[in-house]
Amino acid sequence: MPIDQHADKKLQGVSLRSLPKVSLHDHLDGGVRPETIVELADEIGYELPESDAADLADWFAEQSDSGSLVDYIETFDVTLGVMQTADALRRVAREFVADLAADGVVYGEVRWAPEQHLSRGLSLQEAVDAVQEGIEEGEDEAEGRGHDIRVGQILSAMRQQGRSLEIAQLAVANRGRGVSGFDIAGPEDGFAPAQHRAAFDYLASEFFPVTVHAGEAAGLDSIRSALIDGRALRLGHGVRLASDLNVVSREGEEVMVQFGDLARWVRDREIPLELAPSSNLQTGAIEAWGTQWEDHPFDLLYQLGFSVTVNVDNRTQSRTSLTRELAALAETFEYDLDDLQAFQLNAAAGAFLSVEEREELIEIIAEGFGA
């Protein structure tokens, strides 16, 4: 039976969908509605693997369950294929915000790679402008429905390409105009953050926030490079940091763990981990620990005091939502509302906002959870 990514779930009598949430790791081209893909494809004559929206949704989910990040990324050929005009980008961004709002998100950061949206003549700046227009339309529509939401753009450079400095400059040029951060994405293994040192040096000189995909398809060296070469303030996924933890002994619920230097550094400096459990299972990011929800090192990292956050990564590919991710974590690890609130507070503290805005966001979360 297909997963209903829009289903709600109650915990301690409270609707999880109604709770205020923060989404830090959410890809624009991974959150396009299947029905929108079908309509946009029809407009431009783009051939899809399935012409029916429901069948297309099933196709995305099935293709994404390969256990390979490379195969998982290939599904984006379809979404990117219909996101090559200003109108398409504007619509997708507007609907993206609407879907966040429906999921209870009050603050989100949407990441995407402008360099992948130029095949029909858009410039990089025109692409950024179109997405920003869609975001603002979505925010206004949500406000009209009584839901306040704020969404910022994170511009991603594709790590296998050579445009990272150009995209970094684009991000800085749009500071204060909707862009709040920079990222590198794409195939991680073989494309270390160190290869983009010029971009990261520039961003550091401009005091511009950076998050880096690291520790998803590659190991500790990738995470180390993200922190040293990338000066990352957050780690995109970062789940393989758990391999720097050595479980010495277990006695009942008591676990003795020996920290590696890298893991201790990340924990002690409260560097947020942008964990995405469903995606991590699909791409094989946690294969060293297992293939089931209960095998995910999320709980180990949480119990050891890491700044864990919960994310969807790609709503369409993983057929998920923040509500669903939180519900699954609560069921798997017997979390209560206090735990789920802690994850949102971690995300709020790591948001690419001013300290005053983060404090306001923390107050919204505390009030929404009834603290």
- Alpha-carbon distance of 129 to 148, in angstroms, equals 22
pLDDT of residue 254: 80
CA angle 28, 21, 170 (to 5 degrees): 35
Distance of CA 132 to the CA centre of its chain: 18
Please pick, among 115, 188, 216, 325, the residue that the annotation labels catalytic.
216
CB 130 within 8 A of CB 90: yes
pLDDT means over runs of 10, the chain (371 residues): 68 96 98 98 96 95 77 87 98 98 98 98 98 98 97 97 97 98 94 97 98 95 98 97 91 86 98 97 92 96 97 96 97 98 98 98 97 58
pLDDT of residue 44: 96
Dihedral in degrees, nearest 10, Cα atoms 273, 182, 121, 37:
20
* Paired tokens of 328: 């699954």
Contacts of 331 (CB under 8 A, 6+ apart): none
pLDDT of residue 1: 33
3-state helix, strand, coil in the chain (%, to 5): 50, 20, 35
Q: What is the pTM of this model?
A: 0.95
216 is catalytic: yes
pLDDT of residue 65: 85
Q: Helices 124-144 and 86-102 sit at what angle, rounded to 10 degrees?
A: 40
What contacts 24+ positions apart, CB below 8 Å, involve 168-175? 168/199, 168/200, 168/202, 168/203, 168/208, 169/202, 170/114, 170/124, 170/125, 170/128, 171/203, 171/208, 172/202, 172/203, 172/206, 172/208, 173/125, 174/125, 174/128, 174/132, 175/208
Question: Residue length, the chain?
Answer: 371
CB 337 within 8 A of CB 20: no
CB 163 within 8 A of CB 186: no
Could you give the domains of the chain?
Answer: 17-368 (3.20.20.140)
Expressed in angstroms, the distance from the first to the final Cα of the chain is 37
